[in-house]
Structure 1
Amino acid sequence: MSLPSFRDRLTTRIVTLSMVSLVLVLAMIGGTLWLSWQLQGAGAAINDAGSLRMRANAVAIALLRNGGDASPALQLHIEQMNATLDRLCHGDPARPLFLPDDEDVHRQFEHVANAWHTRLEPDVRKGMAADPDAISRYLLELRAFVTGADELVGLIERENARKTAWLRTSQMALAAMACIGTLAIVYLLYLWIVVPVQRLQEGLARIEGREFETRLPVETQDEFGHLAAGFNRMAAELQTLYRDLAGRVEEKTSELAAQNRELTALYEMAAFVNQPNDVDVLCRGFLARLTRQVDADGAAVRLITEDGKVRLIGSEGLPASLLQDERCLAADGCVCDAQRCRSLGFATVAAFDIVSQGEKLGAFSLHFRGERVLPASESHLLDTLGAHFGTALKNRRLAALARQLAVSEERNLVAQGLHDSIAQSLNFLKMQVHLLDVATREARIDEIREIVPLLAGGVADSYDDVRELLMNFRTKIGSGELRRAVDEAVERFGLQTGIAPRLDYRDEGGLPLPPDQQLQVLFILQEALSNIRKHAEAQRITVTIVNDRDFSLLVEDDGQGYDPEEMAALGETHVGFHIMRERAHRLGAMLRLSGAPGRGARVELVLAAPARQAA
C-alpha cells in the first residue's frame, strides 16, 4: 500500500493550520506591542510637552526676580527648555519618548518650538542683558506660548486616546480570534481525526460482531483515507475467510476426530499387546481390534517360521476353504490369492508387514467385500499397529529364549555340581564295589572288612552331597533376606563340619541387592564353603560381607590351600572354581581366587556400584 502524497498528508494540514494560526497570533501580538510602545512614547511626550509651560513660567519668574540680571538658575531653565524641545523633536527610543506620527501634532510642535526659538528665547537673552522692553515682550508673548503648548498637549492626548482605542480593539479582536481560531482548530481536528477514528471504531465493533460486509467511506487521500481503504481490504479478506471457515472447521474437526480414533486405537493396541497373553490370544485380540478399527469383513495373521514358510496363525471372518488353501505358503509368495479371494466375495484385500526393529516377522491381511481404498493416514496407522504387534511377538520369543537359556544354564550348573560331588563319589564307590567283589570271590575277609567302612563313608558323603545340592537349588530368597540366608548357610556348614565360621556382616548404608543378585551371591558363598568342607581340612574360616557403595564378599580359611599354577592348568576341570566364575560373570562382579599350599585360600567377590542394582 503506497503512502499518501506530501500535500495530502494529515500531518501537512495540521502543520499548515498551526503555522497560519501562529502567524496570525504573532501578528496580533506584535500589533498590540507596537501600540503599547506608541502609547508609552506618547505618554512621555505629553509629560515633556506639559513641562514646556512650567519651564516658560519659571523663566519669567527668574527674569522678574533678578531684574534682568543673568543668573545660573535662569541659564539652567533656558537649557532645560531647549533640551525638552530637542527631545520632543528628535525623540528618545530608550525611554521611549516621541511625538505621535500625526501632521497636526508636528505642525503644532513646530509652531511652539518656533515661538520659543524666534521670539521668547531672544527676549530672555536680551532681558538678561538688562533690557526692560525685552522682559515686557517676553511676558506679553508668554501667554500665547503657554496656549500653544496646551494645544500641543491636547493634540498628543487626542492621538494617544485614539491609539488606546486601537489597542483595546486589537485586544478584543485578538480574544475573538483566539476563540474563533480555537473553535476552528477543534472543528477541523474533529473532522480530520476524531470522525475517522470514530468511524474506524464503529467498523471494528461491527467486525467484532461478525458483520464482515462492513465498509468505511474513503473520502480523503490522507493517512486515515489509506487506513480506511486498508480496513475495507481487511474486511473483504475476513469476509472471504469466514465464508470458508465453517467448512474448514468441519474439516479440521473430522481430522481431529480421526486422529483421536487413531490415538485411541494405538493406545488400546499397545495396552493389549503388553498384556501377558500367549501368541494365540494375542493374535485373536489383534485381529478383533483391526477389523473393528477399519470395518474390515475379515483378517488373517501369517508369521514366518524357522523353516522359511509363511504359516497362518490366526484369522477373523474368513471362510474355512480360504484358510485351508493358504494354511502354509512360501516366504516370498503372496499372502493371499487375489483371484481366490474375489471368488469368495472379497473385492479388496490389503496386506501389511509385521516387523520388529527392521526384521520382518510376517504379515497380516485385511479383507473387504466392497471396494475400499485406504487413505495414507489409515495405512500409516496399520503399519504402526503391525510394528506394535511385531514388537510384542518379538518380546515373547525373546522371553521364551531367555527362559530356555535360564533352564539350560541351571541344568549346566546342576550337571557341574553333580560332577564335582556325586559323580566323583559314585566313581569312588564303583571302584570299592569292584574291589569288594574281587575280595568276596577270593574270600579275603580282612580286605572285605577294610572296604565295607569305605563304602559306608562314601555312601554317607554322597548322601550329604545330594542333600546339599538339593538345599542349594531349592533356595529362594526375597528382597532384604540375604543376611538370614547367609546365617543359615554358615550354620549349616558348622553342623556339617563341626567348625563354626566367624561371620562379619557389615551393612554400611548400601541399598539391598535385588533378589536375583542376592541369590547369586549366596550360591557363590555356598560353593566356597563346599570347597572348604571337601578339600581344605581347615580349622578357622572367616566370612566377611560389606554392603556399602560397593558390595563385597570375602571367604578365608587356614586349610591346605592350593597351587595357583596347578589350578590354572586344570582350567574348567575344577568344577567348583568354574561355577563361581560363571556366577560372578552373570553378576557383572569381579572374582579373585588366591591361595598357597599349606597357607589357606581366599575367595573375594566385589560387585562395583555401577554393576549393582537397587532392590
Structure 2
Amino acid sequence: MEKIKQRYSYSVMNYITVSLASIFGIGLLSIFISYWVTDMSDKDAQAINMSGSMRMQTYHIGLALQRGEKQEAIEAIDRLDETWNHALFIKQRSLNSSDPLNGYFYRAYNHWQQELKPLLVSEANSVSLPALPIKMIDKQVHLTDELVDQFQKEAEGRIRNLRLFQVFVLFITVSVGSVIFYLLKNRIEKPLLQLTQAAHRIGKGDFGHQVEVDGRDELALLGAVINQMSTSISHMYDELDDRVKQRTQELRRNNINLEFLLNTARRILDSHNKPLDFQQLLDDLSGAMHGNTTLELCLFTAQGDKPYLQLAPHQTPTTDCTLRSCEGCQGQAPFTPIDSISLNEKFPIVRDDMHYGVINVRSPVMTPLPEWQEQLLRSAADQFALALSLSAQKDQEHRLAMLNERTVIARELHDSLAQALSYLQIQVTRLQKSHDKQKYDLQQPIIDELREGLSSAYRQLRELLTTFRLKIDTGGLQGALENTVKQLRERTDMHVNLHYQLSNLPLNPTEEIHLLQIIREASQNAINHSKGEHLSISLKQLADKSIELLIDDDGIGIPDTPEKLNHYGLAIMNERSRHLNGKVEIFPREEGGTRVVCRFQPGFIEQQVTSTA
C-alpha cells in the first residue's frame, strides 16, 4: 500500500482540489481587492463635491462682504470652516503622509486657516465698509481648484488601478484556467477516454487489449490494473479455450468410442441368428483407436494352446504365432516381444473366469497407451467376452433343447406308439397260441383287435408326426390356434369357433406348446367321436389370475369310462397338463355334449408371487 501511495502520489483528486482551490482563491482575491478599491473610492465623489463646494463658498463669502451683508458673510465663513474641518478631510490635514493629495490639501487648508479666514473674520466684524482681499480669495480659489483636481486625479487613479487589477486578475484567471484545462484534458479526460475505449474493447471480447496511461495518479493505477486484468482474462480465456478444445476432442473421441460400443452391443444382440463378424468389430475398434497402434485378436478354446481364430485389421498383416509364445496371450506367461522397439500390451477377453482370448496391442512408440484407449480396449474386450459367452450359452441351450426335445420324443413314443406296439405284440402272441391250439374260432376277435390296434397306432403315429412338426411362428399362440382351427374346419363339417382372450397376457414357449397340443388332441377327439355340429374353443383369464381352457361340443357325450375310448389321447392331455401344473377334466354338459376343462397358473404370475415373497 505504501509503495502504491509513493508511486501514485499525484492524485487526480489533488488536481481537481488544487484547480477548484485556485479558481476559488482567485475569485475571492479579485472580489476582496475590488471591494477594497471601491471602498477606498467610496468617498472620492463626496470629497470632490465638498472641495468644489468650498470654492463656491469662498466666492459666496466675497459676494456677501461686497454687498455689506456681514451676518451672512460670518455664517458663510463658519460653514466654509466647518467644511474644511469635515471628518472626510482628517487624513489630509496631516503632513505626515507622503501622499501628494495631503500636500495640496494642507496648503489650501493653511491658507484658509492662517491667512484668509482671520482676514475675512476681521473684515466681517469691522464697523467700516470691509475691504475685499481679492488676491487672497483668488489664491484660495486657486488652491481649492488644485485640491479638486488632485481629488479627481486620485479618484481616476483608483479607477485605473482597479482596471489594471481586473486585467491582471483576468490574465491570472485565464492562465490558471488554461493550466487547469490542460491538466484536466491530459490527466483526466484523455486517460478516461482511453480507459473507456479499453473497457468497450474488452467488453466486446478483445481481452488482449492494453491501455497506455502515463502518470502517477489513480487513472494510471486504474490503467495498470485494467492491463493486468486484461492480461489475466486473456490468459484465462486462452486456457479456457484450450480446455474447451481439449474437452471437445475428448467428447468427440468418447462419442466415437460410445458409438463403437453401441454398434458392438447391437451386433451382439443381432447375432442370435447368425455368427458374429469379429473381423468387422476389430476393424471398427482399430478405426476408433485412430492411432499408430496395431491390434490383433486371438481367440482360444478352453483347452487349446493355440488360437483357433487369429485376426488383424484389414491391410495389417497378422503375425504368425510361431514367432512368440501364446502362453502370454492366455495369461499364463509374459509376452515375448517380436522386436525390441514394440510396445506389447494385452487385454484378456474374460467373463465368469472363462478365458476366451486376448486383444494384443503393439505400438512402435515406447510410451504407455492413453487412458481413453485403455478404457476402450477394456470395454471392447468385455464386449467380445460377452458375445462369446452368449454364443457359448446359446450353443449350450441348443444342446439342452435338443436333448430335451429328444426326451420328449422318446416319452411320446413310449406313452403312445410303444404301448400300442406292445399291445399289438400281445395280440400277435394270442393269435399265435390260438393257431397252435387250432382254436380258429378265437382268431377272428384277435384279428379285429389287431386291425383296430394298427389303426390306432397309425393314427397316433400321424399325431406324433404332426406334434413333432409343430411350430409357433411370429403370430404366437393366437396365430397357431387360428391356423389349427382352419385345418380342423377343412377336415370336418362341424362349426369350429375360437374365442381367444389372452392377447394381453405373456406366455412362455413351453406353455404355448402344451396348450396347443391339448387343444389339438381334445378337438380331434371331439371331431372323431362326438358326432356333433358345433365345437367351441375358449381361452380366458379368471378372477384368480389363472388361465382356463374350455372345449365344448354338442355331440352324443361321453361314456362313463371315457379313458377306454381314447386311452392314449387322454394320457397325452393329462401328461401335458401336469407340465402346466394344471389338471384336465372331462365331463358331460347339461345341455348335451362334452366339456374339456384345463386350468393352470401361468409362469409370470408365479414369478411375481415368488419375487413378492
For normalisation by structure 2, the TM-score amounts to: 0.53
2:434 to 439, 457, 476: 439
1:228 to 224, 227, 246: 224
Which residue number in structure 2 is paired with residue 449 of structure 1?
444
Q: Tell me, yes or no, if the aligned pair for 2:538 and 2:550 is still in contact at 8 Å.
A: yes
Answer yes or no: is 1:403 the counterpart of 2:393.
no
Opposite residue 421 of structure 2, the aligned amino acid is: L
Q: How does 1:96-245 map to 2 (within 5 A)?
A: 194-203=189-198, 212=208, 214-217=210-213, 219-222=215-218, 225-226=221-222, 228-232=224-228, 234-235=230-231, 238=234
Opposite residue 530 of structure 1, the aligned amino acid is: E
Give the match's secondary structure for 2:583: strand
Answer yes or no: is 1:470 the counterpart of 2:460.
no
1-side partners of 2:575 and 2:20: how far apart? 109
2:387 to 392, 402, 410: 392
Q: Deviations over 1:572-597 (max 9, x none)?
A: x9664443454x5xxxxxx6436488
Range with greater deviation from structure 2 (436-445 or 314-323): 314-323
484 and 214 in structure 1: CA distance in 2 versus 1, 3 angstrom threshold: closer
1:430 to 425, 429, 432: 425
365 and 23 in structure 1: CA distance in 2 versus 1, 3 angstrom threshold: same
TM-superposed deviation, 1:294: 5.6
Q: Tell me, yes or no, if the aligned pair for 2:330 and 2:348 is still in contact at 8 Å.
A: no
546 and 10 in structure 1: CA distance in 2 versus 1, 3 angstrom threshold: farther
2-side partners of 1:240 and 1:528: how far apart? 78
TM-superposed deviation, 1:449: 0.7
Opposite residue 232 of structure 1, the aligned amino acid is: Q
Which residue number in structure 2 is paired with residue 322 of structure 1?
322
Q: Tell me, yes or no, if the aligned pair for 2:500 and 2:538 is still in contact at 8 Å.
A: yes
Answer yes or no: is 1:382 the counterpart of 2:381.
no
Answer yes or no: is 1:263 the counterpart of 2:257.
yes
TM-superposed deviation, 1:525: 3.6
192 and 429 in structure 1: CA distance in 2 versus 1, 3 angstrom threshold: farther
2-side partners of 1:408 and 1:418: how far apart? 15
Q: Deviations over 1:546-588 (max 9, x none)?
A: 499989552256977999xxxxxxxxx9664443454x5xxxx
2-side partners of 1:318 and 1:421: how far apart? 59
1-side partners of 2:235 and 2:211: how far apart? 11
Which residue number in structure 2 is paired with residue 301 of structure 1?
298
433 and 608 in structure 1: CA distance in 2 versus 1, 3 angstrom threshold: closer
Opposite residue 266 of structure 1, the aligned amino acid is: F
451 and 349 in structure 1: CA distance in 2 versus 1, 3 angstrom threshold: farther
2-side partners of 1:347 and 1:321: how far apart? 19
2-side partners of 1:522 and 1:554: how far apart? 14
Opposite residue 593 of structure 1, the aligned amino acid is: K
TM-superposed deviation, 1:450: 0.8
RMSD value, Cα: 6.7
23 and 407 in structure 1: CA distance in 2 versus 1, 3 angstrom threshold: farther
Which residue number in structure 2 is paired with residue 79 of structure 1?
none
Answer yes or no: is 1:544 the counterpart of 2:530.
no
2-side partners of 1:579 and 1:382: how far apart? 50
Opposite residue 543 of structure 1, the aligned amino acid is: I
Say which one has the larger Rg.
Answer: 2
Which residue number in structure 2 is paired with residue 158 of structure 1?
none
Structure 2 unaligned regions, length at least 5: 33-86, 89-173, 312-316, 562-569, 590-594, 608-613
2-side partners of 1:211 and 1:604: how far apart? 81
Q: Tell me, yes or no, if the aligned pair for 1:352 and 1:382 is still in contact at 8 Å.
A: no
2-side partners of 1:502 and 1:197: how far apart? 98
Which residue number in structure 2 is paired with residue 530 of structure 1?
521
- Percent sequence identity over aligned pairs: 16
Opposite residue 322 of structure 2, the aligned amino acid is: L
409 and 200 in structure 1: CA distance in 2 versus 1, 3 angstrom threshold: farther
Opposite residue 515 of structure 2, the aligned amino acid is: I
Answer yes or no: is 1:416 the counterpart of 2:407.
no
1-side partners of 2:519 and 2:597: how far apart? 9
2:583 to 585, 593, 597: 593
Q: Tell me, yes or no, if the aligned pair for 1:504 and 1:543 is still in contact at 8 Å.
A: yes
Opposite residue 403 of structure 1, the aligned amino acid is: H
249 and 425 in structure 1: CA distance in 2 versus 1, 3 angstrom threshold: same
Opposite residue 333 of structure 1, the aligned amino acid is: Q
Which residue number in structure 1 is paired with residue 333 of structure 2?
334
304 and 477 in structure 1: CA distance in 2 versus 1, 3 angstrom threshold: closer
Q: Tell me, yes or no, if the aligned pair for 1:432 and 1:451 is still in contact at 8 Å.
A: yes
TM-superposed deviation, 1:395: 2.2
Give the match's secondary structure for 1:334: coil
423 and 496 in structure 1: CA distance in 2 versus 1, 3 angstrom threshold: farther
1-side partners of 2:384 and 2:586: how far apart? 58
Which residue number in structure 2 is paired with residue 124 of structure 1?
none
1-side partners of 2:186 and 2:374: how far apart? 65
2-side partners of 1:576 and 1:487: how far apart? 20
Q: Deviations over 1:218-264 (max 9, x none)?
A: 5344376245334235437747986x999x69994996599379639
TM-superposed deviation, 1:322: 0.5
2-side partners of 1:476 and 1:404: how far apart? 19
Q: Tell me, yes or no, if the aligned pair for 2:547 and 2:602 is still in contact at 8 Å.
A: yes
Q: Tell me, yes or no, if the aligned pair for 1:218 and 1:229 is still in contact at 8 Å.
A: no
1-side partners of 2:475 and 2:240: how far apart? 65
1-side partners of 2:380 and 2:359: how far apart? 13
Q: Tell me, yes or no, if the aligned pair for 1:300 and 1:365 is still in contact at 8 Å.
A: yes
Structure 1 unaligned regions, length at least 5: 32-102, 105-178, 564-572, 585-590
